[in-house]
Amino acid sequence: MVLETQKALLKSDGTRLDDRLPTYVRPAFLKTGAVKVAAGSAYAEFGSTKVIVSVYGPRESKKAQAFSDIGRLNCDVKFTSFATPLRGKAGQDIGDKEFSVLLHKALEGAVDLHSFPKTTVDVFALVLQSDGGDLPAIITCASMALADAGIVMRDIVAAISLSCVGKNLLLDPTYKEETQEDGSVMVAIMTSRREITQVTLTGEWSSTKASEALELCSDACQKLGESVFLVPKVCIEEIGNFAIFQLPRPPLRN
C-alpha cells in the first residue's frame, strides 16, 4: 500500500510533482562575479532555491592567529526574511548559525589556509529563496565564489542532498519533499580528488539504503563538479558573465 506522503509526492507514473524521476536533479543556473565590490562572488539557482555568496579578503583581522602560519576562514550564512514564509526569527537564528558551522566544515579542507597566513578570508552567504537543498546550494556556490576571488584551493567542492520518503530516495529534494522525509543525506565532495569533505545523515537508515543514498549523492556531486569547473571558462569566452546548465542526471536505479 502506498503511503499518503508518497501519494502526495509521486504521481501515478512514478515522477515527482515537478516531473522529475526520483534520481533526477533540478536544473541549475550558475554565475560568478555577481557582486562587483567583493573580491569574489557567485550566484546559484537550483530549481527555485536561490543563493548568492560574496568573498572578501584575505585581510588582516584581530581574530586571525597572530603567530600562526595559516589563515582563518570565516563563514556566515543568512536567510532573507522573505526566503520562506515559514521562517520565524528564533528558528531563523538557529538555522543561520548551524548552516554557518556546516559551511565552514565543508570548505575548510578544500581551502589552502597556508596561502594567506595571519589573515582572514570572509565568506558571506545569503539565501534569497529557500525551496529545498539550501545547504548544498550554499556550499557549491561558496566554492565557486572562493575560486572567483582567487583563493588558493585544493579543489572545487560540490554538494547534493537526498530525502528518503517511505521506500523512495529523492535526489535534490524540494522543500515540500524535505518536509515529508523520513531521513536525509547531504554529501559534499572535492570532485577532482574524489574526497568527501562532509556527510550529514538524519533519520534511521538501513545499511543498504544508506549505501545507495551515498552513492547517488556522490555520483550527482561528480556531475555537478564537472559543470562548476566549466563556469569560469564559459563566463569569459562564450556568454559574458553567466552560464546555465541542465545538470547531468544520474542513471535511474531499479
Report yes or no: 139 and 188 within 8 Å, Cβ to Cβ: yes
Over 80: is that where the pLDDT of 82 sits?
yes
Over 60: is that where the pLDDT of 170 sits?
yes
**Dist CA 100 CA 90 (whole Å):** 16
pLDDT of residue 67: 58
pLDDT of residue 169: 96
Over 50: is that where the pLDDT of 247 sits?
no
Q: How many angstroms separate the Cα of 155 from the Cα of each of 30, 92, 152? A: 18, 31, 9
pLDDT of residue 249: 41
pLDDT of residue 47: 92
Closest-CA residue to 247 (of 31, 49, 27, 48): 27
Amino acid type, 144: M
- What value, to the nearest 5°, has the Cα angle with vertex 142 and ends 137 and 144? 100
| Structural domains of the chain, ranges and CATH numbers in brackets | 16-239 (3.30.230.70)
Over 60: is that where the pLDDT of 236 sits?
no
Residue written as cell 582567487? 150
Over 70: is that where the pLDDT of 89 sits?
no
Strand order in the sheet with 120-129: 72-79, 120-129, 49-59, 40-46, 28-32, 243-245
Report yes or no: 76 and 98 within 8 Å, Cβ to Cβ: no
pLDDT of residue 230: 65
- What value, to the nearest 5°, has the Cα angle with vertex 214 and ends 135 and 133? 20
pLDDT of residue 14: 86
65 vs 140, which has greater pLDDT?
A: 140
Sign of CA dihedral 38, 82, 128, 64: positive
Closest-CA residue to 228 (of 160, 173, 174): 160
Output the nine-digit C-alpha cell for 128: 534569497
Over 60: is that where the pLDDT of 123 sits?
yes
> How many percent of the chain have pLDDT more than 90?
58
pLDDT of residue 252: 40
Q: List phi, psi (to 5°) of 161.
A: -120, 170
77 vs 238, which has greater pLDDT?
A: 77
pLDDT of residue 225: 86
* Band (248; pLDDT cuts 50, 70, 90): very low
Q: What is the DSSP secondary structure assignment for residue 6, as one 8-state letter? A: H
Report yes or no: 121 and 111 within 8 Å, Cβ to Cβ: yes
Q: What pTM did the predictor assign?
A: 0.85
Residues in contact with 89: Cβ distance below 8 Å, sequence separation at least 6, in sequence order: none
Over 60: is that where the pLDDT of 110 sits?
yes
Report the mean per-residue pLDDT for the chain.
83
**Dist CA 81 CA 9 (whole Å):** 27
* Overall average pLDDT of the 209-230 stretch: 89
